Structure 1
Amino acid sequence: MTQQRFFASTAVLAATTVLLTGAVSTVSTSKGWAEPLQPSPKQLVDKVWQVLDQNYVDGSFNRQDWKAVRQSYLGRSYSSKQQAYVAIQQMVAKLGDRYTEFIEPQAYTALNAEINGNLSGVGLQLAADEKTKAITVVAPIEKSPAATAGILSADVITKINGRSTQGMTIDEAVKQIKGVAGTKVVLTIRRGSQNLTFALTRANIALNPVSYRTQMTDAGKIGYIRLPEFTRTAPAEMNRAIVALEQQGVKGYVLDLRSDPGGLLDASLKIASMWMSQKPIVSLVDRQAVRKQYATDGRALTDKPLVVLVDNGSASASEILAGALQDNGRALLVGTRTFGKGLVQAVQPLGDGSAIKLTIAKYYTPSGRDINSVGITPDFVVELTANQKKALVQKQQVATAADPQYAKAVSSLGQLIQARTAAAN
């Protein structure tokens, strides 16, 4: 039985990878499947069919006769793996699920690098718009070429090096955008009624899972923690940040999850446990309606007041954490409505260096909210225009007094701190 990971993230990173979210587990495969070291093209097609047959969240397979689909594709002759890859992509497309996709070997190698926090490219997290299928920016990675150039969440990529993206899949877009550090790619962006052109130079991108600092406010010293992605190292980094800030005597925290597209589910569970003790985090429901509940493990590192910043680039694992903190009354949320991805994916390696990413479950917040395609509404909504976002990034004023969302988070935290102090007296 091969290993796979559970994910709760947006689709693909133009920084060369699929962005993941999950804990190590296994997916079931046919008992009769003896996986060869190098499966033949036809065996590869059949393996993908079996993985989907036994694990895909929708038992109707998008109202497809799934057994007939298998007969159709296994009835073909394949003279190369590339032919098998094309067939697999066609088969997967029948599910009509933008989060279920075939990952070719090069992209899967990059995916594993992403999990470990190593990237190269322009630093864009991408998703296909649910209605229009347009290639849409979920969020740029901090300090990446894309972020520095001013590309924003919700921007639509209409051309890559002059080639239209109409009808292009996420995987195809990634292949066009990624490349060796130092090389260039030109993206044409639609932002509202504007058409913008960005000439980007690809680079090696250092992912710093957690950064933190202190700030003096009218309510006393507070801690600010920025979590850009739920990587494998993020829990340890978050632990160090909270411990360090506690030692510095902060009275409360602002946790910034803006433009955080998700990552490892296991990381989100561990981080939630640092903020809450003995509380539910999330429920996963598979196609058999089997519900698996996750709760905090152990004792929280702090119980001090907490405000969480979110926006439309906060997706998946970010929404799991934010939803759990909000539902349990542990934190106030400030910003704008989150992305709205309430589905969990698993990635199954296929034996030839490729893999299949498939949706295996829906998830619900502790109060039972289904946030898929809806998102999470903050307790305090603070909108930013595209020009405001661009100016904050270019002037390096994100999470400063010039940032309206951050300013609201700080003022809200001050009120929580004062209320806690009054209650203690």
Structure 2
Amino acid sequence: MRPAPVLLPLLLLAMPFTGLALEAPRDPSPVQSAPVEGVAPQPEPVDAEDAHDHEHQDEGEGEDAAAPVPATDDPDGGDATGSRVPMAEIQRYVAVYRAIKEAYVDPVDDRFLMQSAIEGLLMDLDPHSAYLDRDEAETFDEQTSGAYEGIGVELLQQQDRTLKIVAPIDGTPAARAGVLAGDVIVAIDGKPIAQIEGSEPLRGPAGSKVSITIVREGRDRPFDLEIQRETIRVTSVRSRMLEPGYGYVRLSTFQADTGADFRKHVDELQAKAGGRLRGLVLDLRSNPGGLLTAAVQVADELLESGAIVSTRGRVPASDTRFDATGGDRLEGAPVVVLVDAGSASAAEVLAGALRDNERARVVGSRTFGKGSVQTLLPLGNGDSVKLTTARYYTPSGRSIQASGIVPDVELQPDPKLIGGTAPTGAPRTVTEATLPGHLRGEEEGEGYQPGSPLPGDAPITAALAELKKLAGVAAAPAAARRE
């Protein structure tokens, strides 16, 4: 295995944000204006991982730098005038602004109006484009270091301001309390989300307690959980032997050191197996994403050759491709990737790369479908705009967006572990495709079914059984050659 290539951390790569030019209106036909975004929810990361209220952002998300971005996400819809704002639209905005200032029932602060206008620019683009104030921008990179005080969840704020759980983080107070991917937080300490000020309502000093009210699919009514905050230090890689010769690696998120830690854990498992594993279960359940480059490094450790992922946007700087450098650390031993509805963004990139290259079988439930790339654009005042600039594509050329990764072997959740009372086949909504304003993907296809969270050890047992089948198939040709 050659040393992993040095890759820029796309998640946090940023560029200066330039001003928009103004143009006079043309003839009677309407002139398009370039949307500029800025309100923050989210993820991923988590994934992000938005200017919405959330504790930890997904970002899920591997992010790529880009030049100023035109009006739409259509890769073929480039417009040389896309960065121009028509004067007629500026005049319309000023007219509304003045009406509010002069006639609204109560006096309105100028800064409040301007902030609302900026946030409104981003609100209807997609759930992951957001405006980050100075404090939010400074905490945006925490998923790469994994240290903060809170309960340990990746959140996405929805349009009604409620907070959707992308995934609880392994070993954190939220995970221990039974929070699941897809849960929706509607109140904090008995106060409805809409009445809560501030962008980080779940954070607070370690040792303090917070009560959250959760709505869960399949439960008849909301329920409360009291959780004690801790200093969250995320360990992104854990491993153990499942049985002699069969290893297990859990990736809970993708941080700057995940690639190196993955190599270390695999080497330790190989040593325990006497030099070579017979197979590996790679657990990506409830992994909300993180640094794209970390997912690329893990894929590179398991691939001899082939594409890993590509991104495509409206401007050339958004177009990237990553390929394997050669050298399979497992020397061809079979791999089963375990996913569920909380597997998002970079986790989906990794699962798609291994499956498309016929290097692994995917087991679990359909993934989240967070297949878009965000770029952090710093503003001159310390604030930033988190803007969707591209989509992810697997090596086969398929977009992850909204459709997610469909497993080769589908598993069903244990009702006892998810606390649901809904019958089998009841609608499940843990998916990017259900988020208001999401970028369109391939989810409209007939028979589309969102995934479910898969907590507990039963999915690991099922993945091991599938791995043994693959190991048996892989061993047969070698046995035949010896004969």
TM-score normalised by L of structure 2: 0.71
Q: 1:238 — aligned with what?
A: 262
Provide the C-alpha distance between the structure 1 equivalents of 2:155 and 2:246, rounded to a whole number of angstroms. Answer: 33
Q: Which of residues 333, 338, 345 in structure 2 aligns to 1:316?
A: 345
CA contact (8 A) 1:125 1:137 kept: yes
**Change in 2 beyond 3 A, CA 1:342/1:358:** same
The Cα offsets for residues 334-376 of structure 1, whole Å up to 9 and x where unpaired, read as 1111001111111122243322111000112112222322221
Report the CA distance between 1:134 and its aligned residue: 4.7
- Number of aligned pairs? 384
Report the CA distance between 1:259 and its aligned residue: 0.4
**Change in 2 beyond 3 A, CA 1:117/1:175:** closer
CA contact (8 A) 2:56 2:155 kept: no
Report the CA distance between 1:248 and its aligned residue: 2.5
Report the CA distance between 1:27 and its aligned residue: 3.2
Q: 1:346 — aligned with what?
A: 375
Provide the C-alpha distance between the structure 1 equivalents of 2:186 and 2:229, rounded to a whole number of angstroms. Answer: 19
Matches within 5 A, 1:159-178: 159-165=187-193, 174-178=199-203
**Change in 2 beyond 3 A, CA 1:197/1:24:** closer
Q: Which of residues 118, 122, 141 in structure 2 aligns to 1:92?
A: 122
Ranges in structure 2 where 5+ consecutive residues have no aligned partner:
1-9, 15-43, 99-107, 421-452
CA contact (8 A) 2:66 2:315 kept: no
Query: Which residue type is aligned with residue 470 of structure 2?
Result: L
Q: 1:194 — aligned with what?
A: 221
Query: Which residue type is aligned with residue 233 of structure 1?
Result: D
**Change in 2 beyond 3 A, CA 1:373/1:399:** closer
Query: Which residue type is aligned with residue 353 of structure 1?
Result: G
SS at match of 1:189: strand
The answer to whether structure 1 residue 20 and structure 2 residue 47 are counterparts is no
Q: More helix by proportion, 1 or 2?
A: 1
Query: Which residue type is aligned with residue 264 of structure 1?
Result: L
SS at match of 1:278: coil
**Change in 2 beyond 3 A, CA 1:167/1:205:** same
Query: Which residue type is aligned with residue 224 of structure 1?
Result: Y
The Cα offsets for residues 298-329 of structure 1, whole Å up to 9 and x where unpaired, read as 32212211001100000010000001111111
**Change in 2 beyond 3 A, CA 1:288/1:185:** same
Q: 1:404 — aligned with what?
A: 458
**Change in 2 beyond 3 A, CA 1:269/1:165:** same
Provide the C-alpha distance between the structure 2 equivalents of 1:224 and 1:205, rounded to a whole number of angstroms. Answer: 24
Report the CA distance between 1:189 and its aligned residue: 0.5
CA contact (8 A) 2:209 2:228 kept: yes
**Change in 2 beyond 3 A, CA 1:414/1:375:** same
Report the CA distance between 1:55 and its aligned residue: 8.2
Q: Which of residues 226, 245, 262 in structure 1 aligns to 2:250?
A: 226
Provide the C-alpha distance between the structure 2 equivalents of 1:190 and 1:159, rounded to a whole number of angstroms. Answer: 10
Report the CA distance between 1:291 and its aligned residue: 4.8
Report the CA distance between 1:399 and its aligned residue: 11
Provide the C-alpha distance between the structure 2 equivalents of 1:231 and 1:199, rounded to a whole number of angstroms. Answer: 29
Report the CA distance between 1:246 and its aligned residue: 2.0
Q: Which of residues 173, 177, 186 in structure 2 aligns to 1:149?
A: 177
Query: Which residue type is aligned with residue 163 of structure 1?
Result: K
SS at match of 2:187: strand
CA contact (8 A) 1:209 1:234 kept: yes
Q: Which of residues 283, 290, 306 in structure 2 aligns to 1:279?
A: 306
Q: More strand by proportion, 1 or 2?
A: 1
The Cα offsets for residues 255-282 of structure 1, whole Å up to 9 and x where unpaired, read as 0000000000111111110111211112
Report the CA distance between 1:196 and its aligned residue: 0.8
Provide the C-alpha distance between the structure 1 equivalents of 2:85 and 2:364, rounded to a whole number of angstroms. Answer: 43
The answer to whether structure 1 residue 420 and structure 2 residue 436 are counterparts is no
Q: 2:13 — aligned with what?
A: 5
SS at match of 2:471: helix
CA contact (8 A) 2:49 2:61 kept: no
**Change in 2 beyond 3 A, CA 1:91/1:85:** same
Q: 1:183 — aligned with what?
A: 208
**Change in 2 beyond 3 A, CA 1:165/1:103:** same
Which stretch shows the higher mean deviation, 96-105 or 245-254? 245-254
Q: 1:41 — aligned with what?
A: none
Q: 1:254 — aligned with what?
A: 281
Provide the C-alpha distance between the structure 1 equivalents of 2:138 and 2:329, rounded to a whole number of angstroms. Answer: 35
CA contact (8 A) 1:152 1:390 kept: no
The answer to whether structure 1 residue 214 and structure 2 residue 262 are counterparts is no
Q: CA RMSD in A?
A: 3.5
The Cα offsets for residues 113-158 of structure 1, whole Å up to 9 and x where unpaired, read as 322121221111122469x775311111112111111111111111
Provide the C-alpha distance between the structure 2 equivalents of 1:258 and 1:419, rounded to a whole number of angstroms. Answer: 26
Query: Which residue type is aligned with residue 243 of structure 1?
Result: D
Report the CA distance between 1:409 and its aligned residue: 0.5
Query: Which residue type is aligned with residue 185 of structure 2?
Result: I
Percent same amino acid among aligned pairs? Answer: 32
CA contact (8 A) 1:56 1:360 kept: no
* Greater Rg by CA: 2
